Amino acid sequence: MLKMIVVPVALAAAFLLAFQPQPVAAADSWPQCVVPKGLGGKTPKPVKVAIYAAADGKTQSGTLNQYLALRAVARKGEFIRLTGSADSAPIPDEKEVGWAREREFEYQALRNCN
């Protein structure tokens, strides 16, 4: 009797776990919230991300050296265009930051940029 109950419940649980919604990929919708890679443990590791004037990686316009939540508003090749977010002080909300290599960032829930 117990086996007749346990097996269907286990199968239902396995089915639900297998078909849980997966995180939305950045290509599916814009804007996305991103943070520089480098958070290790409780203290962020030093951040040093090159910021470019265009999505070609040729003209570096600055360096991001703070652990900030930024908005990625577009992607072009391996680059993402960044703007400030509500949580990116001293960079004002929606101010253009520039282009950076996508591999230098981790995607976060959009609520982390509000």
What mean pLDDT comes out for the span 52-65?
A: 92
Residue 37 banded pLDDT, cuts 50, 70, 90: confident
What is the DSSP pairing of strand 32-36 with strand 39-40?
Answer: unpaired
Please check the confidence at residue 3 and state whether its pLDDT lies above 70: no
- How many alpha carbons fall within 13 Å on the CB side of residue 62? 9
Q: Contact at 8 Å (CB) between 35 and 68?
A: yes
Please check the confidence at residue 36 and state whether its pLDDT lies above 80: yes
| CATH architecture of structural domain 24-113 | Roll (2.30)
Q: Contact at 8 Å (CB) between 34 and 99?
A: no
Q: What is the pLDDT of residue 55?
A: 93
- Looking at residue 12, the DSSP 8-state letter turns out to be H
- What are the sequence ranges of the domains in the chain? 24-113
Question: Which of 4-13, 33-42, 52-61 shows the highest mean pLDDT?
Answer: 52-61
DSSP track, 28-71: GSS-EEEEES-EETTEEPP--EEEESSTTSSSEEEEE-S---EE
In this structure, which amino acid lies at residue 87?
D
Q: Alpha-carbon distance 73 to 93, whole Å?
A: 13
Q: What is the pLDDT of residue 22?
A: 44
What is the DSSP pairing of strand 105-108 with strand 49-52?
Answer: unpaired
Task: Look up the pTM and report it.
Answer: 0.70
Rounded to the nearest integer, the mean pLDDT of the chain is: 79
Residue 40 banded pLDDT, cuts 50, 70, 90: low
